[in-house]
Amino acid sequence: MENIEVSEGEARFNFAEGEMLLIDKPLTWTSFDVVGKIRNSLKPLKLKVGHAGTLDPLASGLLIVCTGKLTKKIDSYQAEDKEYTGTITLGATTPSYDLETAVDETFPIEHITEQLILDAAKSFEGEIQQFPPAHSAIKINGERVYEKARRGEEVEIKSRLVRINSFIIEKIDLPVVHFRISCSKGTYIRSLAHDFGKVLHSGSHLSSLRRTKSGDYRVENAWNLEQLIAEIKRHKEIIK
pLDDT (0 to 100) of residue 120: 98
Q: Is the pTM of this model over 0.75?
A: yes
CA 222 to chain centre: 15
**Which CATH code fits 81-212?**
3.30.2350.10
Q: Across-strand partners of 22?
A: 64
Taking 70 as the threshold, does the pLDDT of residue 142 lie above it? Answer: no
Average pLDDT over residues 74-80: 95
Average pLDDT over residues 22-40: 95
pLDDT (0 to 100) of residue 153: 59
| 188: alpha, beta or left? (left if phi > 0; alpha if psi -120 to 50) | beta
91 residue type, one letter: G
C-alpha torsion sign, points 19, 48, 65, 162: negative
Taking 50 as the threshold, does the pLDDT of residue 225 lie above it? Answer: yes
What is the per-residue DSSP string for 128-166? Answer: EEEPPPSSSS-EETTEEHHHHHHTT-------EEEEEEE
pLDDT (0 to 100) of residue 233: 81
**Which CATH code fits 18-78+216-239?**
3.30.2350.10
The domain ranges of the chain are: 18-78+216-239, 81-212
Q: Active-site residue 56, yes or no?
A: yes
Burial of 153-186, coded b for 16+ CB within 10 Å and e otherwise, reads eebeeeeeebebeebebeebeebebebebbbebb
pLDDT (0 to 100) of residue 192: 97
Choose the catalytic residue: 56, 104, 173, 216.
56
pLDDT in tens, 145-158: 556 556 665 666 78
pLDDT in tens, 99-118: 999 999 999 999 999 999 99
Taking 70 as the threshold, does the pLDDT of residue 168 lie above it? Answer: yes
Taking 50 as the threshold, does the pLDDT of residue 127 lie above it? Answer: yes
Taking 70 as the threshold, does the pLDDT of residue 139 lie above it? Answer: no
Fold equal for 18-78+216-239 and 81-212: yes
